[in-house]
Structure 1
Amino acid sequence: MEILDPIDDRQRIADLRACPTISFVDGWTHAGPELAVLNRLDHVDPDTSAPEPVDIADDDLVERRSRYILFPWRSTLVRLPDADLYRRLKTARNRHLLTGREQQIWGDAVIVVAGLSVGSSALTAAALTGARRFRIADSDELAPTNLNRIVGSVTDLGVSKVELARRRILEGDPYTQITTFPDGYRPDLAEGFLGSAAFAGSTEELPASVIIEEIDDVAMKIDMRRRARAAGVPVLSATDMGENVVLDVERYDLDQAYPIFHGRGEGFSAGDAADPAQRLRMALAIVGDEVTPRMAFSASQLGRSVTSWPQLGSTAAMAGALVATAARNIVCGRPVRSGRYRFGIEEILLGSSAGAHEGWNELGQAEFASAAQAMGEGAGTS
């Protein structure tokens, strides 16, 4: 992607405008009238100064305050207001729900997202609310079975998830700084992915403000938390459980002695993940047994009638929104406490019948515990 200055890059812009295969979109068609409305609004935020109004009738000024964005994957050139004006437009409807100071803090924070299933929804929610600095990691490519929970297109099958996420975020805000790790999270990449004070020489290498962890590998979940705890960086994770969501908040920024996964992830060694039975025990210890009857049955069928962790797109979207909301509140200094938070959507919608397990695709807690034990024993003999 290219961001072109109307003065410095005049010839490049002219060449692109003349290219028959490049479409052109003038964002000022809609941005101009919206800025005119914003110019007339009262400024009531005591912590920020009023933005300087822009005379949208001055064509020369509008052009100087423009940037031309080339999206090569779309073969499209877009003229937009510059970064400051675009940010004002992008966050206009956040006004007072977030203070000007909170919006600035959130926009300056470095949001690290590992795993782009639920992580993809979290990334989108964070970007929609004005976050502008990201590092993202995932080693997978888009496949048909991903499209039940990841917003995508069949035309993009086989494209890496990090590249698709990068494109989506930049199309929403081309001034976003986003660094991709297409090999996913690994210990040898951790320093660059998580960032450290030693890397403070550039914006892309600033230390993480908050980590959103949504990877599948249990050993890597624990490895990341150990590093985050040592660095004093908070870690958030949301797990979709059928219709319900479990949100884990670990405030290592406030307490570097806080136990990994609230104690559920302690006591495991790096070598444990090499043993299938122990790896499954690690996963069950972290996830816990607070699952819905349908989720219990689905999880018990792993490797039998289902190939991987069962997920619904609607729940993945909720999980992503919840973890992004928690991340923003932490970054903005609000008192989010460490702990495990369970959002029982089924109980809210179904009431007392939510815990019933009468269908063929439902298990009770005792049955699930027995099935989980059998799964662990089976993994140990495979």
Structure 2
Amino acid sequence: MIEILDPATDSAQIEAVLAPGSGYTLVDAWELAQSELAAIDAFPNIDGAEPGNPVTPRFAVFPWRQAVVKLPDSEQFLRLRTARNRYLIDGGEQRKWSSALVGIAGLSVGASALSVCALTGARRFRLADHDTLGFTNLNRLVGSVCDIGVAKLDIAQRRVLEADPYSEITPFHAGYTSESASGFLGTAGEPLSVLIEEMDDLAAKVDIRIRARAARIPVVMATDNGDSAILDVERYDLDASYPLFHGRADRVEALTPEQLEDQGERIRIVGGIVGTDITPRTRYSLTQVGRTLPSWPQLGTAATIAGAAAAYAARLIVCGHALSSGRYRIDIDSAVLGARAGRAQRWNELDEATFLETLAQR
């Protein structure tokens, strides 16, 4: 989507793109970058880079912005981008995270996870999503009305590349499919370091886990829960026999994609995966899908928290921290309101069968 031009080899292209009438505007960030690098170099060397190394300029061309940015080379740019991560993420962790290959399938909560991964210094991604931005997405996706109808994947790519033009992104615009599975997971090449799975399609969620487990790729999933989130971690890298969805979806591996579309099976499987230990308002909202709500209820608070949790878990895994398979709850209601107050809503009494049936019709 962008070009990175080197004055040593691409001078003619740089001159052409900056010529009067080209339509491109130059953002000259070169002097500011040099001054900030000098400030970093004034402190003891703790990031493994040698202070005083030559800093060479590059020109990043952003067609959708009609802009050209003059900035440092990749190594020095990363030093600038991660300077304030020091000690919170140590040098060894930062190098592992920046070189990791992170897969994200589904770019609703996945878009939030992608943003946090990139902000903390991850640079290499495979992204899969087939959907476009709609108006109802704007309650939880950072987007613009100018981008209505634009592929969510393109919007996500642009955000990452504008923050770090040296990021490597491989897009899968058709989303995750059985046909694209090998390329996305990297089973025939470089495998993903970690997979963040945030798709809606049940058959795809099952298929990607079966393949990830066979390839020993760890899977992270975060689910909205009112204003809070549920984090699921499946460490297939540590245990190739670990059950899909922690065993909460009994017999799911034996079902065909067609059987996964059966309403009865969906009620059983989705009910098992999501469970009933969710906020009362979430439970009530889910019973209203198809009645007074057009689709799955979600909030920007939950999408942001879920994305941050998924990105954090992915980084822990990549950096070698002891994060076990299991379900983890990030409960902002209890943290802010207290355990009892956070659960004391007026929509507590819901019919269980109606609730599970609504889940299956998602």
Please state which band the TM-score falls in when normalised by the shorter chain. Answer: over 0.9
Is 1:337 paired with 2:356?
A: no
- Relative distance call for 1:285 and 1:88 in structure 2 (3 A) is same
Question: Whole-Å Cα distance in 1 between the matches of residues 265 and 20 of structure 2?
Answer: 59
Shift of 1:220: 0.9
Q: Hey, what's the Cα distance between the residues in 2 that align with 1:159 and 1:18?
A: 30
Q: State which of 214, 217, 220 in structure 1 corresponds to 2:201.
A: 217
The aligned counterpart of 1:299 is 286
**1:23-102 aligned within 5 A:** 23-43=25-45, 45=46, 49-54=48-53, 65-102=56-93
- Name the residue aligned to 1:208: 192
Give 1:278 shift. Answer: 2.1
Is 2:227 the counterpart of 1:227? no
Q: Which residue of 2 aligns with 1:58?
A: none
List gaps (5 residues or longer) in structure 1: 55-60, 200-205
Write the mapping of 1:137-156 to structure 2, written as runs, cut at 5 A: 137-156=128-147
Q: CA deviation at 1:306?
A: 1.0
Contact preservation (8 Å) 1:296, 1:368: no
Tell me what 1:242 maps to.
226
> In 1, Cα distance between the equivalents of 2:41 and 2:163?
23
* Cα distance, 1:191 vs structure 2: 0.4
Partner of 1:115: 106
Aligned with 1:176 (options 152, 167, 181): 167
Match of 1:57 in 2: none
Report deviation, 1:374: 5.1
CA drift of 1:251 comes to: 0.3
Counterpart code for 1:354? G
Deviations 1:251-304 (A, max 9, x none): 000001111111013402123222133223322211111111111100111111
* Counterpart residue type for residue 25 of structure 1: V
State the distance in 2 between where 1:250 and 1:311 align.
Answer: 24
How far apart, in 2, do the equivalents of 1:95 and 1:356 lie?
A: 41
For the Cα contact (< 8 Å) 1:149–1:311, is it kept in 2? yes
Indicate yes or no: 2:240 matched with 1:256: yes
Distance across 2 between alignment mates of 1:368 and 1:350: 26
Partner amino acid for 1:353?
A
For residues 113 and 374 of structure 1, do their structure 2 counterparts lie closer, same or farther at Cα, with a shift above 3 Å needed?
Answer: closer
In structure 1, the partner of 2:24 is: 22
Asked if the contact 2:267–2:357 (Cα under 8 Å) also holds between the matched residues in 1, the reply is no
The structure-2 alpha-carbon separation of the partners of 1:265 and 1:164, relative to structure 1 and needing over 3 Å to count, comes to same
Q: Distance in 2 between matches of 1:227 and 1:134?
A: 18
Match of 2:125 in 1: 134
Which AA in structure 2 matches 1:340?
R
Q: CA deviation at 1:344?
A: 1.6
CA distance in 2, matches of 1:176, 1:50: 20
- Residue 10 of structure 1 pairs with residue 28 of structure 2: no
Counterpart amino acid of 1:10? S
Cα pair 1:281 1:376 within 8 Å, conserved: no
Aligned position for 1:203: none
- The aligned residue for residue 148 of structure 2 is 157
Q: CA deviation at 1:354?
A: 1.8
State the AA in 1 paired with 2:355: A
The 1-side partners of 2:357 and 2:62 are apart by 52
* Closer/same/farther in 2, CA of residues 295 and 67 from structure 1, 3 Å limit: same
- What is the alpha-carbon distance in structure 1 between the residues aligned to residue 91 and residue 163 of structure 2? 20
Are the aligned partners of 2:113 and 2:310 in contact in 1 as well (CA < 8 Å)?
Answer: yes
User: 1:319 offset after TM fit, Å?
Assistant: 0.5
Q: Which residue of 2 is the match for residue 188 of structure 1?
A: 179
Note the C-alpha offset of 1:19: 3.5
Q: What is the letter of the counterpart of residue 53 of structure 1?
A: G
SS of corresponding position for 1:96? coil
CA contact (8 A) 1:300 1:371 kept: yes
What's the TM-score once normalised by structure 2's chain length?
Answer: 0.94
Change (3 A) 1:83 1:50: closer
Instruction: For 1:49 and 1:215, locate their aligned partners in 2 and report how far apart those are by CA, in whole Å.
Output: 39
Give the letter for the 1:363 counterpart.
N
Q: Does 1:349 align with 2:336?
A: yes
Q: CA deviation at 1:16?
A: 1.3
SS of the residue 2:70 aligns to: strand
The AA in structure 2 aligned to 1:356 is A
Segments of 5+ residues of structure 2 without an aligned counterpart are none
Q: Measured at CA, do residues 12 and 242 of structure 1 come closer, stay the same or move farther in structure 2, by a change above 3 Å?
A: same
Contact 2:267 2:356 in 1 (8 A): no
- Tell me by how many angstroms 1:350 deviates: 1.6
- 2:274 corresponds, among 279, 283, 287, to 287
Aligned residues: 355
Using a 3 Å threshold, how does the CA distance of structure 1 residues 281 and 123 change in structure 2: closer, same or farther?
A: same
Aligned with 2:353 (options 335, 353, 370)? 370
Show CA shifts across 1:68-98 (max 9, x none): 0100000001101000110100010011111
Q: Is structure 2 residue 261 aligned with structure 1 residue 278? A: no
Q: Aligned partners of 2:101, 2:85: CA distance in 1, in Å?
A: 20
Give the TM-score of the pair, scaled to structure 1: 0.90
Distance verdict in 2 for CA 1:259–1:374, change over 3 Å = closer
